[in-house]
Chains A and B, each alone.
Chain A
Amino acid sequence: MGFRGTRTQLFLLSLLAGVFTISYVTIDVFALNAVSLLQDPIFYGFLGVWLGLIISSLLLFVGVIKLPSMKNKLGTYLDPHYIGIRRPSNSALKYIFLASIFNALGTLVYLGACTVLDPSIVLPLMQFLVVYLIVADFLLEKETPVIVEVQALLMVTLGAVLATLNQALLLGSINQIGGIILVLGPLNLLTMGSSYYQKRARLCPSAKTEHTDALTIRFYTTIGLAIIFTLISVLIRPQILLLLLDPTLLVAVVPAALSMVLYTLYFITYLRAIGKGKLSIVNAIVSVSVVLSIPVTLIGTILIPGVFGDVSTEPFFWIIKIIGAILICVGIISLSLSEIRFYLFFKKEIPYSMDKIFAELIQIKGVQKVASCTGTYDGIILVRTRAIGKSYNQILMRVTKISGIAFLQSFMVYKDWEQLPLLQN
C-alpha cells in the first residue's frame, strides 16, 4: 500500500471518527428533546450505559475472531496489544475504576447539558479540552508558553465564545448559559480525569503483554461506568427503575442504542486512525469536524422545528457561529502543527551504567524512544515536543544533567516520514 493511500486512509478514518462523534451527540440531543420517555437525562443515561456495556462486550468477543485469511485476531487490527479476553492487572483495575467514576459523572453532566444545548454548541465547547490539557502542561512543567501557543489558545477560547455564547446571551436563556458553564468547566475536567486514568491503565503491564489494550480497558470501564452510573441514578431518582416498565420503552431503547453504536464506531475508527498516523493529527482532524455540527443543527431545526430544543434560525447567529468554529479549527490545527521532533546522539562515560541512564532519560517528558547503539555513538534519543523554544532547551538541560552522558549532539528534524506499523503486511 502506498504512502498516499495511507495518508488518505488516515484522513478518512479521522474524519469518519469526527462524523460519528457528531452523530452520537446529535442523537443524544434529539432523544433528550424529542422522545418523551427520554426527557429525563438520568433515565437516558441509565439505558445508555447498560446498552453500551452490551455493545462493548460484543466488541471484545468479536475481537477474538480470526478469519482464515487473516494473520492475527480481528482485535489486533484495532490495538496491536490485544491478545484476547483477559482480566487486567490489579493496578490497571484501580485506574480503570477511577476512570469509570470520572466517566460516570462526566456522562451525567454531558446529558444534563444536552437537554438545554444543541449539538452546534455542545461540540465546540467539548473541544475546549485542548486548552485545559495545555494549561495543565504549563502548570505542571512550569513552562512558559511560546507565542504560537498563546495565539492558538486565544483562538480556541474566543472561537468557543463566539460559537456558543452569542445565542444564549441574545436569547437571554439562563438554562443555556448554565449548560454552557457545565460543559466548559466540569465536563471537560471530568473528561480530562477519565482519559488520564485510562492512559495510566494502558501503561500497566498485564499477564502476557507489557501494556493493557484499549478494547479491554473500554470493556472494563463500561462495566464500572454501568455500575457507578446506576448507583448514582438510583440514589438521585429511585423512580427511574419504574420507567423500565413503561410500555413505550422499546421506542426509547432505539435512540439510546443507536447513540451507543455510533459511539462504538467512533471508538473503532479513532483507534484505527491512531494506528495509522500521529495522534496529534488525528485529534486535530476529529476536532475540526465540529464545523459539520453547524449544518447538521441548522438543517435539523429547519426540517423539524424544536428537534434540538430552542434553536434560532436567524442568519446572524449562524454567521457568528461559523466564524467561531473556524477560529477553533485554526487554533487546534496550529497547535498540532507547532510540534517538533529532534534526535539527540550521545556518548557515555565508561563506568556509568546504560540502564541507569535509560531509566532517567525516559522520565523526561517528550522523550519518545531511547536506543542503545553500537557504532560511533552509544545512544540515540528521539524527542518530540510541542514547540521549539523553551521546551527544547529544557529537555536539553535535563539530558545534560544526567550523570554519565559525556557528549551530546542534537539534530533537528525538519521533514519526517514514517512507514506505518499496521500496514507492513
Chain B
Amino acid sequence: MKKESEHKKTAIGKTKERPKGENKLINAYILINVEIGQSASVFDEMKKVKSIKRISIVTGEFDIIARVEVDNMMKIHEVTEEIHQIPGIKATSTQMIALEVLGEEELE
C-alpha cells in the first residue's frame, strides 16, 4: 500500500520543470514526411530553424520527428510556415503537447 502512494507522489513530482528565467511555454512534436532521398538535406536545413530543439530521422510512417519549443501559439504557426519552406518536405502534422512528464533516466 505504501509503495503505491509513493509512486503516485513521484508521478506528480516529475512534471517537466523549467529552469528559472526561461519562458518557453508551448511544446509540440511535428511529424514530417519528406520526398524520397531528401531526409538528410531536410534534416540539415531544419537544424537552422531556431525553435526546433530536437530532430530525429525515424523508421516508419513518418520520416522525421521534430520537437519545437516556443513561447506562444503564433510562433507555432511561424515555425510550421518556416518548415514548409524547406525544399523536400511533403507533409507535416503537428501534435501539441498538453502535459509532459520526465522519466528518472532523464534526470540523471
Contacts and interface: CB of A to CB of B under 8 A. Distances in A.
B10 to A, nearest CB: 8
A210 B104 CA distance: 13
Contact of B60 (A354, A409, A419): A409
Interface stretch (A20-28, A122-130, A139-147, A359-367): A359-367
B107 A375 contact: no
Given A72-B21, A343-B65, A373-B98, A210 B13 contact: yes
B43 A203 contact: no
A76 B60 CA distance: 39
Interface residues of A, number: 54
B54 A416 contact: yes
Nearest to B97: A371
Given A372-B98, A380-B95, A76 B29 contact: no
Nearest to B106: A368
Contacts of A375: 93-96
Given A3-B47, A411-B62, A411-B65, A370 B107 contact: no
A202 B107 contact: yes
Contacts of B58: 342-343, 411-414
Nearest to B44: A417
A348 interface: no
A246 interface: no
Contacts of B98: 371-374
Contacts of A384: 105
Contacts of B57: 413-416
Interface in A381-418: 384, 409-418
Nearest to B64: A415
Interface string A76-104: 10001101000000000000000000000
Contacts of A374: 95-96, 98
A341 interface: yes
A337 interface: no
B97 A211 contact: no
B103 interface: yes
Nearest to B7: A359
B96 A358 contact: no
A368 B105 CA distance: 6
A364 B107 CA distance: 14
Interface in A182-215: 199, 202-203, 205, 209-211
A279 B105 CA distance: 10
Nearest to B105: A368
Given A71-B21, A369-B101, A417 B43 contact: yes
B59 interface: yes
A343 B21 contact: no
B94 to A, nearest CB: 7
A377 interface: yes
B13 to A, nearest CB: 5
B55 interface: yes
B100 interface: yes
B53 to A, nearest CB: 5
B19 A372 contact: no
B20 interface: yes
A376 B31 CA distance: 11
Q: Lowest 8 CB-CB distances: which A-B pairs, in order?
A: A80-B19, A359-B11, A411-B58, A375-B95, A415-B57, A367-B103, A373-B95, A413-B56
Interface of A: 3, 71-72, 76, 80-81, 83, 199, 202-203, 205, 209-211, 279, 341-343, 354-355, 358-359, 361-377, 380, 384, 409-419, 421, 424
Given A366-B103, A373-B95, 11 more contacts: A81-B19, A210-B14, A358-B99, A361-B103, A362-B104, A366-B105, A369-B102, A413-B57, A417-B54, A417-B56, A418-B54
20 contacts: A76-B19, A76-B21, A80-B19, A205-B13, A210-B13, A359-B8, A369-B102, A370-B101, A371-B97, A371-B98, A411-B60, A411-B65, A412-B60, A413-B65, A415-B43, A415-B56, A416-B57, A418-B55, A419-B54, A424-B22
